[in-house]
Structure 1
Amino acid sequence: MLKLNDSKTEFFVATPSHLKHIVGPVSLCVGDMLINPSDNIRNLGIIFDSSMSFSAYITNLCCSLTYHLRNLSRIRRCLDRDTCHLVIRALILSKIDYGNGLLLGSNKTDIQRIQRIQNWAAKMICQVRKQDHATPCLEELHWLPVEKRIVFKVLLFVYKCLNHIAPNYISSCITLNQPGRAGLRSASDTTRLTEHNTSKLLKSAERGAFYYNAPRMWNRLPINIRESASLAVFKKALKTHLYKSS
């Protein structure tokens, strides 16, 4: 009983830049309309582009966050520190963290654009000069850098998968490692995941894939963190570990 609206239907083809020559012209016929692929589409607030680089989404995100920070800077003198911190967590950090697991493997230049926004927010809370370094402010607020926040989100999904509190479509992307021979030191590690090997051609295209990156990141964690008794304990231990490593 589902009907598609011809004029509102859109689609796109996700293809790595070095493989676009393999995919020919694609079109979709819906009703009486012939629809050509879009350069990007929006889904649940995230902008997906045809190369899956998320550059368009990061640009849109930075514009939105800049707008809020400029408005907050006008009234900062009227806010105490705790209120300013609360507002920035609601308007800035929540948007930085929303869907940030998708940014795994994104261009470092794009990640740095978001990092500059976070640095600006931290300086605003601490009321330091614009030209001052942001690192002391981030340490004082105990904020993880943007890159580590992405790692935190991905590893959180892995823990939920292994403890059966994640959707099946995510859990099916990872498998526990099966040791080849009993008695090996690795055989006693029951939380180790199987790492997938890919060809050099596909490695650049799959650098952001959950099934490819998550096992490698998970296996590098200390075993005591991987074996955390609860989600709350895991989150606390993981944040401390990432904070020290950053």
Structure 2
Amino acid sequence: MSKISACLKDIHTWSLFNHLQLNIQKTELIHITSRFRKSLPLQPSSVLDLKPSSEVRNLGVYMDSHMRMDANINAICRSAIVGNRKIGLIRRFLDRETTTRLVHAFISSRLDYCNSIHVALPKTLLRKLQMLQNSAARLVCQTNRRDHITPILHELHWLPVKERVNFKILLLTYKSLHGLVPKYIDNVLTPQSSCRHLRSKSQNRLVPAKVKTISYGHRALSYAAPMLWNSLPNYI
């Protein structure tokens, strides 16, 4: 905590020197740890009035101390449900094209924002987002809630929530292989190499990182991206 306090004081001094204002009262601190390990909690700083929080918001994404993503998904649900209800109130006055645009603006945009952090999450959490997408799809197509959702999503050409997350990871991987992402993303993806001439050498395969846990390790970009990328058919 003393190092963190010293760092914040340096940032505060630098900001004043460059005619900027840093609001220490709005500065948050979170200690991210595994829920499977017991770790000593951070003590409040004696230099600055800064106490560790169990949940913080960064660029619109809610993060908790164990990275379970419950808070972020609940926030998405609250926001999207409001949009869904408002569109439902005026649905009978709208045509299908206009309804689709409103759904993309108020619901799909929230489901897709930073959704790559939802990779390999438990099905119970992703089911909440899938139910929102199902409700939005039925709103557009004006179908009964008892109708099977798969044909409706096919008709709208919408990927389910889990596949949308995987698509975002694969798109990021593709950009990494073609030099279209920052260097820090390239550094976590390792191309497969071999001394022998193998057919897989021309397929741009990646080496998954070695992980010790499923709950956290399988959610890392260094593991999830190579696993999804290598599972694609060769022609893709």
Shorter-chain TM-score: which interval? 0.7 to 0.9
* TM-score between the two structures when normalised by the length of structure 1: 0.84
Q: Select which of 196, 199, 205 maps to 2:209.
A: 196
**8 A contact 1:6–1:30 mirrored in 2:** no
Change (3 A) 1:32 1:153: closer
Structure with bigger RCO (C-alpha 8 Å, 6+ apart): 1
Cα distance between partner residues in 1 of 2:73 and 2:101: 23
Alignment of 1:1-246 (within 5 A): 1-2=14-15, 4-19=22-37, 21=38, 23-29=39-45, 31-33=47-49, 35-179=50-194, 181-189=195-203, 191-199=204-212, 202-225=213-236
- Which secondary structure state, in structure 1, belongs to the residue aligned with residue 45 of structure 2? strand
Q: Post-superposition shift, 1:62?
A: 0.5
Cα distance between partner residues in 1 of 2:205 and 2:188: 14
Unaligned runs of 5+ in 2: 1-13, 17-21
Cα distance between partner residues in 2 of 1:63 and 1:51: 21
Q: Post-superposition shift, 1:28?
A: 5.0
Cα distance between partner residues in 2 of 1:14 and 1:193: 28
**What's the RMSD between the two structures over aligned residues?**
1.6
Cα distance between partner residues in 1 of 2:176 and 2:64: 28
**8 A contact 2:55–2:65 mirrored in 1:** yes
- Tell me which amino acid in the other structure corresponds to 1:62: C
**8 A contact 1:174–1:215 mirrored in 2:** yes
**8 A contact 2:211–2:218 mirrored in 1:** no
Unaligned runs of 5+ in 1: 226-246
- Tell me which amino acid in the other structure corresponds to 1:61: I
Aligned length: 218
- Which secondary structure state, in structure 2, belongs to the residue aligned with residue 17 of structure 1? coil
Percent identity between the two aligned chains: 38
Q: Which has the higher mean CA deviation after the structures are superposed, 90-99 or 130-139? A: 130-139
**8 A contact 2:191–2:205 mirrored in 1:** yes
